Amino acid sequence: MTSKLASLNQWVDEVAALTTPEKIHWCDGSEAENQALVELMLERGDLIELNQDTHPGCYLHRSDPKDVARVEKLTLVCHPNREDAGPNNQWMAPDEANAKIDALFEGCMKGRTMYVVPYCMGPIGSPIARCGVEITDSPYVVANMRIMTRMGKAAQERIEREGSFVKGLHSTGELDPERRWIMHFPEELSIKSYGSGYGGNALLGKKCHALRIASHQARTEGWLAEHMLIVGIENPQGQIHYVAAAFPSACGKTNLAMLIPPEGYRNNGWKIWTVGDDICWMTPGEDGRLWAINPEAGYFGVAPGTSAKTNPNALAMLDRNAIFTNVAVTADMQPWWEGLPDGKPVKDWQGRDVDPANGPAAHPNSRFTVSASQCPSWSPEAESSQGVPISAIVFGGRRQSLVPLVFEARDWTHGVLVGASMASETTAAATGQVGVVRRDPMAMKPFCGYNFADYFAHWLSFDTPDAKLPKIFHVNWFRKNADGKFLWPGFGENMRVLEWMLKRVTGQAEGVASPIGTLPADGELNLDGLGLDDDAVAELFAVDRDGWRDEMVAIGEYLDSYGDRMPAALKAERQRVADALDAAEAAPAQKKVAS
């Protein structure tokens, strides 16, 4: 099998000449092909069959112990001009980078099968979707790409119609950390990854294509490729509003994407629909609104911490047709990870007998790969070629103090500033540094394929006279009291905050102005049944003027670190907020926000 597209055939021939595989297999994405690959991997030991009575169609993959996560220092963005990559990326000149990695690829597939994997990021018929072809020598990658993308014959046919595609070349190589690179060439729309079999480094449709390359494509073509979930919120009247939200790691992103409303909300008819849990592509529609698709077809989620308590929807989809990577297993070969209340692991993620001295039984970054359609809250609109209209964009971080539970940006420019200055606090007990603030703009720090200053300018460019842009909010589920206890219960109760956002979107809530944005006014946020006293509510929404003045200074220093490319409009907006803080009395803490 070959392609009707001459440029695709030529590229495949060039890669084959470089890597010298034993044979070439063009993937069609069929069930028969998948079953053959599974049988091959079981025979080779790349997969281990799990309990088919309790977990039909589920398998375990154990990666090399030195190959368990993304490696940012070895992940390069190779623009011809170093300034175009920006200080937010590792850079190497394209000619040097290609020569360095091509030397590793030379002859690397000898004795192996070279798989040609055509795929589509997004529904096959969607004008927002973009296609790619990954060439790999890993059947594990093929099996995962079949779940994570629209992979196979239909994708190849679209590629042949359009005549263009992102080129992704991957080999596990020797799995030697000293011979490992993940390189991106945005101007060439190409990716080269060598020496890793781990998901983010090897499933090139995911972060490599869908964010690093796509963010560059989006800038040149006038859309946005974002590290965001997409969730639909259906009210009792049957109206659905769609929200896109960006969170750094460990901030509850997947939990929010698959949120189950509290019982009272469910009884009143509220529902949550999951369109996507990780990546969002948005483009302006003819009506001036931003329309979004989830370019992925599956979830590549972190297993530890996933339970019936934290994310019952996620757990419910993991009992069939899933690939688990680096989890532990019980005596009867059921998958296990820390956070599950039941079961007892007997073999850890490396296949050793479980021993606390060896650390967690499941690797902290152990994963599951599963079709999105298996999620109980999956939205059929995830397959809509048009996408879904976005009513609100939410940014969030993990801050123990300073940042209120929720506030709304004043306008689009202020919202871009809020996203650009997103941050979380870390704990570094060994050095005594507690609460160190780390900036992660729009949760894109590891994934933006070009200079952040240009990225912020691209965001600002959407504010045109005919645009009907989403409202922008910021949330902080993690504010603590003086005793170090969380003030907000989180999880399903976050529905209450989403409800207030929708009231703002539909004009049913006035809010109250503050120098940092609009807060819920007295009586607008439903806190019934939470048992929060007045002091806790006041602390959740308090705006510390002095603390925020210091924050604005820190944000200014951060923006300045990008030099002359930083948009003047963003720096002016930061100054506007700083001036408002200087002019205002300390915003009064609200005695009552509950309805």
Cα–Cα distance, 369 to 374 (Å, whole number) = 11
Q: Quick one: tokens of 508?
A: 């049913």
Residue 251 assigned to a binding site: yes
- Tell whether residue 560 is among the known ligand binding residues: no
Structural domains of the chain in order of their starting residue, each with its CATH number? 6-47+69-222 (3.40.449.10), 229-296+383-583 (3.90.228.20), 298-372 (2.170.8.10)
What are the start-end ranges of the E strands in 360-432?
367-371, 388-396, 406-408, 423-428
Q: Residue 589 has what pLDDT? A: 46
Is 280 known to be catalytic? no
- Binding site annotation covers 493? yes
Residue 448 assigned as binding residue: no
Mean pLDDT by 10 residues, the chain (595 residues): 95 98 98 98 98 98 93 94 98 98 98 98 98 98 98 98 98 96 98 95 97 98 98 97 93 92 97 98 98 98 93 96 98 98 97 97 96 98 98 96 97 98 69 72 97 98 98 97 95 97 98 98 95 95 96 98 98 98 67 48
pLDDT of residue 432: 45
- Tell whether 255 is in a known binding site: yes
- Cα–Cα distance, 153 to 298 (Å, whole number): 18
User: Can you give the pTM of this predicted structure?
Assistant: 0.96
Of 27, 78, 120, 251, which one is the catalytic site residue? 251
* pLDDT in the model for residue 300: 95
Is the distance from CB of 441 to CB of 452 less than 8 angstroms? yes
Is 511 annotated to bind a ligand? Reply is no
Residue 425 confidence (pLDDT): 84
Instruction: Yes or no: say if 191 and 166 are a contact pair by the CB < 8 Å rule.
Output: yes
pLDDT given for residue 25 in this prediction: 98
DSSP E strands in 444-522: the ranges are: 471-475, 512-514, 517-519
DSSP string, 122-137: S-TT-TT-EEEEEEES
Backbone angle region of 383, left / alpha / beta, with phi > 0 → left and psi within -120 to 50 → alpha: alpha
Residue among 9, 11, 13, 443 nearest 191 (CA): 11
